[in-house]
Structure 1
Amino acid sequence: MTLKPDRQYTPANVGWRFDNSYARLPDYFYAQLCPVPVRAPQAVLLNHALAESLGLDLHALSTEEAAALFAGNALPDGAQPIAQAYAGHQFGHFAMLGDGRAILLGEHLTPDGRRVDIQLKGSGQTPFSRRGDGRAALAPMLREYIISEAMHALGIPSTRSLAVVTTGEQVRRETMLPGAVLTRIAASHIRVGTFEYAAGHGGKDAVKILADYTLQRHYPELQASENPYFALLNRVIERQAALVAQWLMTGFIHGVMNTDNTSISGETIDYGPCAFMDAYNPDTVFSSIDQNGRYRYRHQPVMMQWNLARFAETLLPLFDPSQEQAVAMAEESLHAFPRIYQTHWIGGMRKKLGLFTEEEGDSELIAGLLTWMDQHRTDYTNTFRALTEPALPQDAMFRESSFMEWHSRWQQRLARQPQPASESLQLMQANNPVIIPRNHHVEEALTAASEQGDYTVLQRLLAALAQPYEDDPEYFDYRTPPAPSERVYQTFCGT
């Protein structure tokens, strides 16, 4: 591939080890092009801890080199930039899509043998931009940095953020906003929508090429299965059921669970109008574009199953020569999703309540607490964390009869297991975060950074979120739910 002659490579001593396997697929899976240079890049966030885990030394770069690299003005040695093609069901409606504002620089091999995508988001127009400008505003890129790093610290599989660079240019949304480029790290960017694109573009042959590649890259142990493509479906179902269970256990609402935002690797991807609940309400919606609550908190498992059905449809020709048999196989696997999800969810909720053992009445015990929380709109995170304290808070709601009755049943349940109370307490403290990225604190940090150029608020928030299970007095203010005037009722996509 020939790059633009004015594009300079960054120093080799950063530690890049590119091996760009996706670019070796047939060229209808992507378009080859470079990021569009920006006027005056400036690096405002560099994730040195993540870089170190990837075997990269960002300290080897000067300030100017880092800005040029993560803006796309310079390319790392070995990069082979492409924009990936994919499709997707967006709020239930099918569309042919693709990376309209992102460039995959390539795949970096880490010292511990992982293969990760290095992607620039907000890097300019591509053949898939349609009417978009290919750019990104600063605040949404900072939001993705904050939330993705918080998710990682919470132990939830997620893409991660390596850098944010301002561009020195403005982007037009409702108003003119400062532009930025985010560097995203992912196990891959293969989505359910990538398979939908393959099925629509090249039929069975293209799906087989993509499925073989996915098996080799993510699930090589399945290649020797009697039916590796059916095994692939079942493994992705398992991964996504576990993922969405973790979302609900932490009060996370993705906001835009389209099939193009459903990763085959099982990572959370694309942090647009996402948010964490404060007061518990299973019908909570934050996204300004989710007018009918399709992706509301409690509906996320159902929508994940729907997305996986679209994935299964693309694989049907690979399951069995008989369409009837292929459909029956897919339906059996998809019908198992609620059971698999429930197993992961109730297992996680037991840990949140300090339960090591399993009893038939555990589901009822968990439901009783959630019903009480819904009725009283108690803070989701703080309620669970309060149960880990030696004494319950003095709030009146913790003294009313329905809660005291539930609390008594819970204490009796704890007493029936062989583990001592101290071990239950440790289990709860390890599974109930003290700090989440609460919307009002996130918005405070975004406003300070994007409107005032002050990143100290954001840096302090990131430091607190890096240790979400630690009860550090220094960050006590991040535990406080928002006052009525601070509540964030809507979040926005940024495109």
Structure 2
Amino acid sequence: MSSPPASSLPFAPAASSWVNRFAQLGPAFFTEMQASGVPSPAWLAHSPACAQTLGWPEDWWVSNPPALEVLSGNALWPGMRPLASVYSGHQFGVWAGQLGDGRALLLGELNTPNGPMEIQLKGAGQTPYSRMGDGRAVLRSTIRELLCSEALHHLGVPTTRALCATHSPLPVRRERAERAAVVTRVAPSFIRFGHFEHFAHHGLHAELRQLLDFVLAQHFPACQSAPQPALALLGEVTRRTARLMAHWQALGFCHGVMNTDNMSILGLTIDYGPFGFLDGFDPHHICNHSDERGRYAFERQPHVAWWNLHALAQALVPVIGAGLGDEADVEAIQAELAPFAAEFEAEFLRLMRARLGLATAQDDDKALVDEWLRLLARHHTDYPIASRRLCHFSTAPGADLSPLRDLFIDRDAFDAWGARYAARLQQEDSVDAERQARMCTVVPKYVLRNHLAQQAIEQAERGEMGEVQRLLKVLSRPYDEQPDAEADAAFPPDWARHLEVSCSS
């Protein structure tokens, strides 16, 4: 008898594949519980690339009622051990006390070809850490996270992933009644700075040490042999965070709510809420409508990350040495935090050199990059489009630069920078065709602008889910020319200027 097609086979990871290492830490770290589930769930969208990361077949979800129920919070696969973890943190620079997984639930940790991965539901109901919230997510927030986490992955930015999303007719009240949805998130770990802050703040030093040892063993084994493993961890997290900030700034990505409980210990982009990609280049841009004082404005993101790393360092003090009053400890901590600025600058300049097509490094490159960014800021020039058109810059005498030049009101200012740029390219004997092709592999044509997400959301709210999957496919190839998706790379419509996103988005 011939085997049935793969899509008709019931799919479930083997029970023995679930390792659930975090669940072995003990009840001080989490509450074991079941998801609340939703009525009449249906698939919203799925990421074939994320499924591949897990080693799952691309069509794992097709005609698969058990998977739909599990990833909507209505059932479990054998071997899963669902739990909500506890953490604390600083929100908008103020100590917020105990927080935790208020609308997230870790289903378990799965062995995959790419190492152990945690599988987490977001929007599956209340937990002990919901703080008067309902623990639910809605279509708009779910769609935004699904699209952006996968988009950033394909842009080469460290991030948590999104495997799929489901939706339900269950009404959820935000500013208005909305449809419930659940996103399945994937990451090697969802541990945050706030996990360490929680145990340090409450004087639970034995648990803090236990958490440190766990993170070192599972995620930073090279730090275990250091004379001071906690210091070594702090140094590694500092460098990873600096490089992450460089990616965000080079790409024009605004996170919007960089609280310490939203900072990944692995240096991943985590917790997608009121994020946004820059349209017009504006260093002062605030993407979070709730951020009235602009703490998390685009240009401030590296500074906030630096502040958050100091909060992490403070939390690690009890497991570093005699205590913060010990001058040697203070100096040792400062030494591990000190590389942040140099690491950020080096990585940012590396990324911007690539975006400008520079194949060699010269001392005045930083000035050239800074002048380019100031020119964009002065005119609020569309950052994705200007960056992509720069890929087609030609050093040939009399070359037509009008597609790029016309983006700037002050043409003379652009001409002055263009002449300097052309001279720099000629210094390294840059070949236009070769450089242009190289730049198009690092400067995306497609990013998740707010209006694209909004259009997908509005269609989904009308029951038309196909646009989410289409856009997910486009964003999986951000550097490619896609003739059928030209509209997704066009200037944003005028109405997009009035879009606002907040923490409920």
Q: TM-score, normalised by structure 2?
A: 0.92
Matched, 1:402 2:403: no
Q: Which residue of 2 aligns with 1:384?
A: 387
Q: Secondary structure at the match of 1:301?
A: helix
| Greater shift in the superposed pair: 65-74 or 115-124 | 65-74
Distance 2:164 2:407 in 1: 44
Match of 2:82 in 1: 81
Give the superposition deviation at 1:360.
1.6
Q: Counterpart of 1:448?
A: 459
2:268 corresponds in structure 1 to 267
**Residue segments in structure 2 that go unaligned for 5+ positions in a row:** 1-8, 395-399
Which deviates more from structure 2 when the two are superposed, residues 320-329 or residues 275-284?
320-329
Asked whether the equivalents of residues 193 and 260 of structure 2 are also in contact (C-alpha less than 8 Å), the reply is: yes
Shift of 1:319: 2.4
| SS of residue paired to 1:487 | helix
Residue 4 (structure 1) aligns with = none
Q: Secondary structure at the match of 1:71?
A: coil
Which deviations, in whole Å up to 9, do the C-alpha atoms of 1:8-44 show, x marking residues without a partner? xx96644561100101113111001111122221122
Alignment check: 8 A CA contact 2:228 2:320 kept: yes
- Contact persistence 1:72–1:120 (CA under 8 A): yes
1:134-184 Cα distance to aligned partner (Å, 9 max, x none) = 111111111100111110111111111111111331111111110011111
Read off the aligned partner of 2:351 and give its amino acid letter: G
Post-superposition shift, 1:229?
1.2
Q: Are residues 479 and 233 of structure 1, via their aligned partners in 2, closer, same or farther at CA, if it must alter by over 3 Å?
A: same
Superposition pairs of residues 169-248 of structure 1, within 5 angstroms:
169-248=170-249
Aligned positions of 1:66-465 closer than 5 A: 66-95=67-96, 96-112=98-114, 114-321=115-322, 323-389=326-392, 390=394, 391-394=400-403, 396-397=406-407, 400-417=411-428, 420-450=431-461, 452-465=462-475
Distance 1:365 1:154 in 2: 24
In 2: Cα distance, 1:265 partner to 1:459 partner: 29
Q: Over residues 107-126 of structure 1, what are the superposed CA-to-partner deviations in whole Å (9 max), with x where a residue is unaligned? A: 011024x1111001111111
- Contact 2:288–2:501 (Cα < 8 Å) also in 1: yes
Considering only aligned residues, what root-mean-square deviation do their CA atoms show, in Å?
1.9
How far has the Cα of 1:59 moved from its partner? Answer: 2.8
- Alignment partners' CA distance in 1, 2:222 and 2:99: 31
CA distance in 1, matches of 2:75, 2:87: 26
Residue 19 in structure 1 maps to residue 10 in structure 2: no
Tell me the amino acid that sits aligned with residue 438 of structure 1. R
Cα separation, partners in 2 of 1:231 and 1:172, compared to 1, 3 Å? same
- 8 Å Cα contact 2:171-2:180 kept in structure 1: yes
Where structure 1 has 5 or more consecutive residues not aligned to the other structure, the ranges are 1-9
Describe the SS at the equivalent of 1:19. Answer: coil
Rounded to whole Å, the distance in 1 between the matches of 2:419 and 2:446 is 27
What residue number does 2:397 align with? none
Counterpart CA distance in 1 for 2:177 and 2:41 is: 18
Rounded Cα–Cα distance in structure 2 between residues aligned with 1:234 and 1:206: 21
Amino acid in structure 2 at the alignment position of 1:340? E
Matched, 1:32 2:38: no
Cα shift readout 1:263-314 (whole Å, capped 9, x = no counterpart): 0011100110001010000000121111111001000000000011001111
* 1:88 to 1:230, Cα distance in 2 relative to 1, 3 A: same
* 3-state SS of 1:260 partner: helix
Tell whether the 8 Å contact from 1:14 to 1:61 is kept in structure 2 after alignment. no
Looking at structure 2, the residues matched to 488 and 150 of structure 1 have their Cα atoms a distance apart, in angstroms, of 23
CA distance in 1, matches of 2:313, 2:454: 38
Higher mean displacement: 153-162 or 223-232: 223-232
Deviation of 1:97 (Å):
0.2
Give the partner amino acid of 2:42: Q
What is the rounded CA distance, in whole Å, between the counterparts of 2:191 and 2:498 in structure 1? 32
TM-aligned CA distance change 1:20 to 1:359, over 3 Å = same
Deviation of 1:101 after TM superposition, in Å, equals 1.2
Q: Aligned in 2, Cα 1:372/1:13: closer, same or farther, shift over 3 Å?
A: closer
The worse-fitting range, judged by mean Cα deviation, of 205-214 and 410-419 is: 410-419
Contact preservation (8 Å) 1:85, 1:128: yes
2:504 equivalent to 1:494: yes
Following superposition, the deviation at residue 61 of structure 1 comes to: 6.3
**Displacement of 1:455 after TM fit?**
1.7
Which residue identity does 1:191 align to in structure 2?
A: R
Contact 1:12 1:77 in 2 (8 A): no
2-structure distance, mates of 1:396, 1:273: 32
How many residues of Structure 1 are paired with residues of Structure 2 in the alignment? 484
